[in-house]
Amino acid sequence: MKILLSLAATFMAARLFGTQSFSEQLYPKLKQHLSALNKEVNEQKQIKHADQAKKIAEAIAKLHQPGKELPIVLVCTGNSRRSVMGAAMGNASAALLEMGELKFYSGGTAPSAFNSRSIASLKEAGFEIEPTGKLAPAGSKGEENPVYLVKWGKSNRHQMEEFSKQYSDPKNPQKDFIALMVCDDATKKCPVVPGAKYRFSIPFEDPKAFDNTPQEKDMYNTRRDELGRFMLSTLEFVKAAEGGSRQLMNQ
């Protein structure tokens, strides 16, 4: 508990850069969307992988060093849907809760391309996503793999380049990170993630199953928000250590 109190205090002490906090620099539409999801979290609605969320919060506490980025890498198979949406929702959630030292990345075991449906879903929530004009190496099946700039706020601390890549790609952290396996296939193929201090399995259903169906849009948005609630819940476990509204650490 003392470690968590120290962590939460450090996050809050580092919340202001210039005149605006991390949360204040979020895009308004996205901030509204995240706030609605966080309200559901704070009302203690059922959150997928709630037990793992607490364990991940404890790992964050153990790895955190004041003033230093703490990287978290989401891994799935194609790095086109769940992992990229989860990383985006993680970064935006960290900004909402003033935990700007957390940084979420994504990778895959068989990279493909940042799926257009994932992009559309994130844009609908309030992210700005723009092609950079650059191409990353082709996907494992020869897919064209454009590089995009994903932005969740008004400063350069609220953006990152995203494209489909191997989880061990040089663009991702190489050591002292937390690995979150967001699909069963990645869990099976990567029993050990080189460089990771902690590895957690938190599989989410693949919205790909609904591609080219009438349910496509709803299922991508459902998965996006399910990932968002998980991220917010995890960070709320950390935040609760400083006496927040939910005493989650005591459950």
The pLDDT value recorded for residue 20 is 78
In tens, the pLDDT along 18-37 reads 457 999 999 999 999 999 99
Average pLDDT of the residues of the chain? 89
Looking at residue 115, what DSSP letter applies?
-
The pLDDT value recorded for residue 180 is 98
H helical segments located in 97-241: 116-125, 184-189, 216-239
Fill in the amino acid letter for 194: P
The pLDDT value recorded for residue 239 is 78
- CB neighbourhood size of 142 (10 A): 8
Which candidate, 14, 38, 21, 27, places its Cα nearest to that of 240?
A: 38
CATH code for the domain of 208:
3.40.50.2300
In tens, the pLDDT along 195-236 reads 999 999 999 999 999 999 999 999 999 999 999 999 999 999
What residue numbers bound the domain in which 55 lies?
2-250
Using CA atoms, how far residue 30 sits from 23, 116, 164, 175, in Å, is: 10, 19, 23, 31
Question: Considering its fold, how many domains does the chain have in total?
Answer: 1
Residue 179, burial from CB neighbour count under 10 angstroms (0-12, 13-18, 19+):
buried
Q: For the chain, what's the residue count?
A: 251
Fill in the amino acid letter for 247: Q
Using CA atoms, how far residue 67 sits from 2, 14, 84, 100, in Å, is: 18, 8, 26, 10
